[in-house]
Each structure stands twice: as C-alpha cells, then as structure tokens.
A = this chain, B = another copy of it.
Amino acid sequence: MIIHIFPPMEPDPDTFFAALAHPLRLRALLLLQGEGELCVCELTHALDVSQPMISRHLAQLRQAGVVSDRRRGQWVYYRLHEHLPDWARQVLAATLSGVAGQVPYADDSAALANMPNRPATACCA
C-alpha cells in the first residue's frame, strides 16, 4: 500500500511551459522572479486585472507546482516553488533578463512599486 502524503512533485517540462504560455501567468511569474514574494492583492494591482482572474491563474500555477503559497493573516503570499528544478529557474531568469525592460513587464514592475497601502512583507515576515 502506497501512501501519498504529498509528493513534492516538480513540474515536468510540458506542465511547466503550459504554465508560462499564458500572458498573465508569465507576467505574474516574472514579477515573482524579481520580487521574491507577492500577495494576491499586490499582483491584482500590478497586473491590473480582477481579483478572481488572478486568483484562478495562481491556482493553475499552484496546481502545476510552479508556485507555492503561504497564508500570513489575511494575506496569501505566492512565490516560486521551492522544489522548482534548476533548469526551470534558469528559464525564468533568462527570460526576465531578456525582457525586463520591455512592455508590459516594465510597466508591471512600475505599477507594483507605485502601489499605495502595500502590505509590508520585509519587516514582519
């Protein structure tokens, strides 16, 4: 009898690239790659989409094993998954360094930086 507590499954290449293949998900992942950790409301603001919409795509990324989440009071923070294989991290790093200055990625970072009432992460995590 095999008990699956929780396989820390890392995504296979198909799953990983399917996760990157949506414009909104790619924008979110490149933000996470640059910022480390962001909550849903920050992503909603930076990407300028409805909260249910980003929540759905984050759920897809979570199910794909690309991101992990942690609850901190009323906020849920997302980050790149700890078990993401090295080649996948290299893919994201190469992409970010290649396109960081272009639209819409640069604007996303700017919108995040300009967000008012941003929940503090650095001070009390």
Contact = CB atoms under 8 A, between A and B. Distances in A.
A14 B99 CA distance: 11
Interface in A74-118: 85-88, 90-91, 94-95, 97-99
A95 B99 contact: no
Contacts of A17: 17, 20-21, 26
The size bracket of the interface on A is 10 to 19
Nearest to A85: B98
A72 to B, nearest CB: 30
A13 B94 contact: no
A73 to B, nearest CB: 34
A18 interface: yes
